[in-house]
Amino acid sequence: MVKGGADWFATYGSPVWRVTGIQVGHRYQVAWLAVTAPASGTAGETVSVPVRLRNDGTLTWTPSGRNPFNLTYKWLDADRREIVADGLRTPLDRDVAPGQEIALNAQVQFLTLPGRFILQVDMVHEHVTWFHDQGSLPNESWADVIAAVPDYATQWLSYAGPERLIVGQATTAEVQVRNIGALPWPSTGTQAVTLGYRWLDQQGTVLAANQASRRLSQPVAPDQVVTFAGAAITAPPQAGAYRLIWDLAQAGQWLSTGGSAVLEVSVQVDPPAYSVAWEVLQAWPAWLPPGQEQQGRLRLRNTGTLAWPCGGPQPVDLAYHWFTQDGRLVEPWETFRLLLPADVNPGDSVDLEVAFMSPPVPGQYVLRWDLVHEGVTYFFREGAAPLEVSLEVSDQAMYVPWSGQASDNSALAALAFDGNPSTAWDSGVDQKPGMWFEVDLGEVRTVSRFKAISPGRGFPVGYTVHISKEQQVWRLVASVEKNWRDVDIAFAPTQARYIRLVQTGTPQYATTWTISDIAVGIAEPWSAVHSSHWDDGARLTMDARLDTSWNSKTVQKPGLWVQLDLGTPRSIERVVLAHPVNQQPRGYVVQVSADGQTWQEVGRKNDNWGAVDVTFPAATALSIRIETTNTSQYHPWGIAEFQVWESAPMWLRGVPG
């Protein structure tokens, strides 16, 4: 205290209150001790700039968390207009407390435009503020950008996309970019240029990449501008602060590896409120009889941030719905509910015995399980993935004695077809290429379909399927290099007694191979197949052999066709063509006819780069016709095999015999 500005009370013995350690100053303040900025550089070049700086503010600079501190920069022109408002980020390698110094190698990418510019180096508190906006002076230096015209170079003009996402969230962005290279960007063929992205964590580790977020609709000449609208993005599966790098790709390589510029965006990924991890504890059967109650067992883990209450005015319940293959709802939306036995907190799991009714009409369906916060939302509407399983509902089945053998644990092979989905054959050892499982149908039959159900993650990670009448000559009818689901294949009806499933993949995790149920479809033989070109060879598309094939003997053009005659009308729901390498149609239309006169279009793709694979609502077909709608100046059109899925086939099901 002081009296009248003259005497302090302390001089007369009055006690005083003392506080030490008070820090006075700006919250955001940096002292630039040394910046070895380049005087010049090539357009688009990325260089390393040694920087030594001191934290003269009152906040500790942290390199992690939702709002990390990063070293970055801007580029200004001579009139101090911003040319690049957000430069590459250089993360800190440790916390920097007030008064502490740190040395970094800043990553700086030169402008893609030549000229003389100002490099403004600054610190940024992500999603909060730039230091210069709080009064701290950035470090500035002049630099000459030397023109370079490489074959491929990009100038990123604008970007409209999210700065915050939920883990696993799928969304889109819009990117505008100019071709400033010497070569045009092709839109088709093996050298097509595509827009892609990759996710980097704060340490610069690449976590995920997608080189085909958006394709070009037409070639882009030098100096032309293209806008990628609706470029797809999927957020990483873990929450955190990430760097989203947009780049162009060609033939599996990023253009930035050759010096082309990238666009970097800082994105915060937050945990979801509604999220569930599904585990199937009892394998689904290969088929279901119509209109009957079925049983299953599921484990649900709460991977969100909200608890699931089992009671109260707005509980969380388990719901299921049936859909047709083309996505139409089979039953009313608000019908089926199963109650949780107790509250489920974040991180906890619950095991459920679930009962559900199969649809009354035979056919191929999708059973979808989802959680619903009553009166609030379904989990899938908040980005949580539902559990979906394709199931066949059929009232046609023949039970006949089978036998089986396997390369491993052969004594228990019969558990794969004992009619009990709760039991299963298990290889007993981890999957490896060359393992096999063989079924003996007891007699020669005309077969056209094979399904093998594997509980949990016991499916083969790659496989081939072979059939034989006498175990001497084998036909290869299916080959899947990478597999993540139960085996379900179709092929031309052909006579066989033995079916051998061979495991060909190498899993990325330790897992055995399991089979809990097997079903074999039987059908009448097909009648004939004809084609617009090389008609004599068209029969090779229905010989149930992937090692033989037909082709057009000419390069592709619109109007080439192949027509399969089934012999008798059948209800079908999917048509797939297996193709020799590089012989898929560049464009196609698929039609079916019940009488050979009136045709119904069931699928079309005028810009195609993959195998023909068309799924549609069940249709009666006597004939199937595929016609090309596009051109290829390099390759003929080729077909190794027709594969046709009937909507409710006659199934053979084995009993140990």
Per-chain mean pLDDT for the chain:
92
**Is 313 found in the same domain as 209?**
no
Residues 6+ apart with CB under 8 A from 602: 575, 590, 591, 592, 614, 616, 619
**Is 501 found in the same domain as 575?**
no
Residue 401 lies in a domain: yes
Per-residue pLDDT at 445 exceeds 70: yes
Distances (CA, A) of 91 to 58, 204, 566: 20, 9, 64
What is the reported pLDDT for 24?
57
**Is 159 found in the same domain as 227?**
yes
pLDDT tens, 587-598?
999 999 999 899
What is the reported pLDDT for 287?
77
**What distance, in Å, lies between the first and last C-alpha atoms of the chain?**
104
Confidence band for 585, pLDDT divided at 50, 70 and 90 = very high
Per-residue pLDDT at 116 exceeds 90: yes
What is the reported pLDDT for 331?
63
Tokens of 108: 């700086």
Per-residue pLDDT at 54 exceeds 70: yes
Q: Which of 213, 242, 270 is the last residue of a domain?
A: 270
What is the reported pLDDT for 87?
94
Residue 181 lies in a domain: yes
Q: How many CA atoms lie within 13 A of 194 on its CB side?
A: 21
Confidence band for 339, pLDDT divided at 50, 70 and 90 = very high
**Is 109 found in the same domain as 50?**
yes
Q: How many CB atoms lie within 10 A of CB 294?
A: 16
What is the reported pLDDT for 96?
97
d(CA 111, CA 120): 13
Residues 6+ apart with CB under 8 A from 377: 274
Evaluate whether 314 touches 374 at the Cβ level (below 8 Å).
Answer: yes
Residue 263's CATH number:
2.60.40.10
What is the reported pLDDT for 361?
64
Distances (CA, A) of 21 to 15, 18, 423: 20, 10, 71
55-66: buried (b, 16+ CB within 10 Å) or exposed (e) per residue?
A: bebeeebebeee
What is the reported pLDDT for 25?
67
What is the reported pLDDT for 3?
63
pLDDT tens, 94-110?
999 999 999 999 999 99
**Is 607 found in the same domain as 590?**
yes
Q: Which of 270, 285, 316 is the last residue of a domain?
A: 270
Q: Mean pLDDT over residues 356-365, rounded?
A: 78
What are 108's strand-pairing partners?
Answer: 47
What is the reported pLDDT for 271?
85
Per-residue pLDDT at 266 exceeds 90: yes
What is the reported pLDDT for 325?
76
Q: Mean pLDDT over residues 123-130, rounded?
A: 96
In the block, residue with structure tokens 């990418």: 109
SS3 assignment, position 517: strand
Q: Which amino acid is at 205?
A: T
Residue 169 lies in a domain: yes
Residue 14 lies in a domain: no
**Is 291 found in the same domain as 185?**
no
d(CA 252, CA 54): 43
Per-residue pLDDT at 288 exceeds 90: no
Per-residue pLDDT at 53 exceeds 80: yes
Nearest to 564 by CA among 458, 648, 639: 639
Q: Which of 236, 270, 304 is the last residue of a domain?
A: 270
What is the reported pLDDT for 182?
87
Residues 6+ apart with CB under 8 A from 233: 161, 162, 165, 170, 171, 172, 173, 197, 213, 244
**Is 226 found in the same domain as 310?**
no
**Is 518 found in the same domain as 401?**
yes
Residue 471 lies in a domain: yes
Residue 24 lies in a domain: no
Residue 544 lies in a domain: yes
Nearest to 571 by CA among 507, 624, 518: 624
Per-residue pLDDT at 228 exceeds 80: yes
What is the reported pLDDT for 358?
86
Residue 85 lies in a domain: yes
Range in 242-256, 324-338, 361-375, 443-457 with the lowest mean pLDDT: 324-338
Share of the chain above pLDDT 70, in %: 96
Per-residue pLDDT at 584 exceeds 70: yes
Residue 584's CATH number:
2.60.120.260
The domain of 497 spans 397-522
Q: Mean pLDDT over residues 81-91, rounded?
A: 95
Strand order in the sheet with 349-357: 276-280, 293-302, 349-357
Per-residue pLDDT at 332 exceeds 70: no
Per-residue pLDDT at 9 exceeds 90: no
Tokens of 540: 């090779």
**Is 348 found in the same domain as 449?**
no
**Is 245 found in the same domain as 280?**
no
Confidence band for 212, pLDDT divided at 50, 70 and 90 = confident
d(CA 174, CA 159): 6
What is the reported pLDDT for 172?
94
**Is 168 found in the same domain as 103?**
no
What is the reported pLDDT for 248?
96
Nearest to 141 by CA among 111, 121, 113: 121
pLDDT tens, 498-522?
999 999 999 988 999 999 889 999 9
Number of domains in the chain: 5
pLDDT tens, 516-564?
889 999 999 999 999 999 999 999 999 999 999 999 999 999 999 999 9
pLDDT tens, 386-420?
999 988 887 667 888 999 999 999 999 999 998 77
d(CA 280, CA 300): 9
What is the reported pLDDT for 359?
82
Query: For the whole model, what pTM was predicted?
Result: 0.50
Per-residue pLDDT at 6 exceeds 70: no
pLDDT tens, 145-168?
988 778 899 999 999 999 999 888
**Is 35 found in the same domain as 107?**
yes
What is the reported pLDDT for 517?
87
